[in-house]
Structures are given as C-alpha cells and as structure tokens.
Amino acid sequence: YSHTLQISEPNEFDIMLVMPVTRLQLDECDDTGAYYYVTFKRNPKEKYLLKFLDEDGKLSAFKMLQALREIIKREVKNIKNVEVTVKRKKRGSPAITLQIKNPPAEISVDIILTLKVQHSWPPSTQDGLKIEQWLGRKVRGEFRNKSLYLVAKQNKREKVLRGNTWRLSFSHIEKAMINNHGSSKTCCESDGPKCCRKGCLKLLKYLLEQLKMKYPKELDKFCSYHVKTAFFHSCVTWPNDTDWHLGDLDRCFQKYLGYFLECLQKSQLPHFFIPQYNLLSLEDKASSDFLSRQINYELNNRFPIFQE
C-alpha cells in the first residue's frame, strides 16, 4: 500500500497572525497547564491593546478576535481579481477562515491570532519536550529559549465561557522538529541518508482524514494534532535514524500506528510539551474506542481505505 499512495492536494492552510508583546503576566486557568489568562504588567508599551481588556483587566481574546474579524471583512471587500469570503464563525473555533474561490480548486485559510511573548516557558512545560535522546540536549535548550506563543483559544473546560483564555502554542517548534527530524544532522539532506519519518506522519494523517470523512460525527473529537503528537512521542521512543529506514516504511508505519492504538486504548496521549495535559480525556473514551476499531479494521485488511 505504501508505494501507490497519492496524498490529497492540500486545500486548507493556517496562517498565524503574530503580535509581539513585551511584558505579560500569565496565570494558569485550569489544571491542563495549557490555558492561560493574560494580564499586563504595569503601564504596557502596547497602549493600543488596552481597549481589549475585560472588566478584570484580562486581555480578552474574544474582543481582539471580534475586532480582527471586522478588519478582515473590510479588507477582503477590496480584493478584486479573486473571490474571497470570510466564513461564518464556527463555535469554539478561534480561527477566522477565508474561503478563496479560484479555479482549479477552492482553498480555505485559517487566520490564527497569536501573541508572541517575551516570557520564559511556564512551569507546566518543564518536563515536556523530552528530545534529549533524539535531537539532543543542546537542541532542547535552543528550543526552550525561543519566544512563547499564545493563541486565542476558547477553553471548553472553563466554567464561564467568556472567551478570554489563551492557549500555549508550539507550532513553530513542531515545524522545526519535523524539518530537522534526524538524530544525525544530515538525515534526508540531498547527500545524506533518507528516512521515512515524514512518510509515516503523512500516512497516519491521511488515514485519519479519510476516516473522518467517512465518520464525521463519531470522529469529530480527533484532529491531525493527535496524530502529530503521537508522532513526536514515537520519534522519542525510536530515536535513531536507523529505526526509520526509508525502505522500512511499512514496518515503521505499523510501529507508529501501534503506539497510537495503545494511546487510544488507554485514552491517554500526553501533550508533547505539557505532559500533564492529556489530549484524550476519559469522557471521550467512546470515540477513542470507535477510532481504534476502525484503524484495526484497516490494519487487518491491508488498508482498503487507501485504495478507495
């Protein structure tokens, strides 16, 4: 199955709209260690942000998104040669989605409001990013010295949904790890040895996408981030480039898939950067079991879904 696979054309894109902010105070707003309230330390440089504070002086993601949405709506009207529309807001989704109709295909672009903060990584990340054996201690240190990113994201566990929570985002680090994924510096460079790590990630992403298309309601809880997180844990479990030989794609994929199935079975997939944050909560056990069954069926029947 591995050699005939044509992974579908990308038609969804994410763009982070990054706003640099100097001094902020972050307060955890629950036990996930991922969601924060943001307040300013005294007299901030960013005076223009003061109008987005809520009554408690917290920076309101909701207010900022509302304003950003209006700006984008206004600007989109000025685009002449391409048909661009701003999609209706989806509940709980912080993104502002642009629909771009331009043959041959239609694409959608999510604009994600992001704060880039000069702030050390919070305590909840202390024991995360366990990449010492895989990418090395030095790389881990370099990553942890990078800025902190916070995205406007509604926390579903919040008692009162006021929409003023922000979630830590590590997508810049995740991208760096996927691009420089080898324990040897030359892995997958033009003259270096090739591995199948990215191939495995693409396959499982594609498998989940296809299953989600088939069972949208049952698999609503799952997204590619689950697959990506399991991928990073797998890279740590099998840290050597020899564990991911290009010619071994089938075997490597099954190992990675096996790990993902274990996570589903236990309903436990720790966030790669925030280990206390479990991405598969027990209340979603039913959907984990459902996904588990579907994947096992595919596995035992040589992946009919890849042939469709």
* CATH code for position 270: 1.10.1410.40
Asked if 196 and 284 sit in the same domain, the reply is: yes
Asked if 159 and 275 sit in the same domain, the reply is: no
Q: Can you give the residue range of the structural domain that contains 121? A: 1-180
Using 50, 70 and 90 to split pLDDT, how confident is the model at 89? confident
Asked if 159 and 208 sit in the same domain, the reply is: no
What mean pLDDT is predicted for residues 65-75? 91
Question: Which pLDDT score, from 0 to 100, does residue 193 have?
Answer: 93
Q: What is the CATH number of the domain that holds 130?
A: 3.30.460.90
Asked if 150 and 194 sit in the same domain, the reply is: no
What mean pLDDT is predicted for residues 72-90? 84
Asked if 11 and 148 sit in the same domain, the reply is: yes
Asked if 153 and 169 sit in the same domain, the reply is: yes
Asked if 122 and 229 sit in the same domain, the reply is: no
Distances (CA, A) of 210 to 93, 105, 146, 254: 22, 19, 35, 18
Asked if 25 and 161 sit in the same domain, the reply is: yes
Using 50, 70 and 90 to split pLDDT, how confident is the model at 1? very low
Asked if 205 and 258 sit in the same domain, the reply is: yes
* pLDDT tens column, 94-143: 678 888 887 667 888 889 999 999 889 999 999 999 999 999 999 999 99
Query: What string of DSSP letters covers the chain?
Result: --SS--PPPP-EEEEEEEEEE--EEEEE-STTSSEEEEEEPSS-S-GGGGGGB-TTSBB-HHHHHHHHHHHHHHHHTT--SSEEEEPPPPTT---EEEEEEETTEEEEEEEEEEEEE--PPPGGGTT----TTTT-HHHHHHHHTSPEEEEE---TT-SS--S--EEEE-HHHHHHHHHT--SSTTTTSTTS--BSHHHHHHHHHHHHHHHHHH-TTTTTT--HHHHHHHHHHHHHHS-SGGGGBGGGHHHHHHHHHHHHHHHHHHT--B-SS-TT-BSS-GGGHHHHHHHHHHHHHHHHTT-HHHH-
Counting Cα atoms < 13 Å in the Cβ hemisphere of 45 gives: 8
Asked if 8 and 47 sit in the same domain, the reply is: yes
**Among candidate residues 132, 165, 180, the one where a domain is terminated:** 180
Asked if 133 and 199 sit in the same domain, the reply is: no
**Among candidate residues 180, 201, 220, the one where a domain is terminated:** 180
* pLDDT tens column, 245-277: 999 999 999 999 999 999 999 999 999 999 999
**Among candidate residues 125, 150, 180, the one where a domain is terminated:** 180
Using 50, 70 and 90 to split pLDDT, how confident is the model at 84? confident
Does the pLDDT at position 282 exceed 50? Answer: yes
State how many domains the chain has: 2
Asked if 29 and 134 sit in the same domain, the reply is: yes
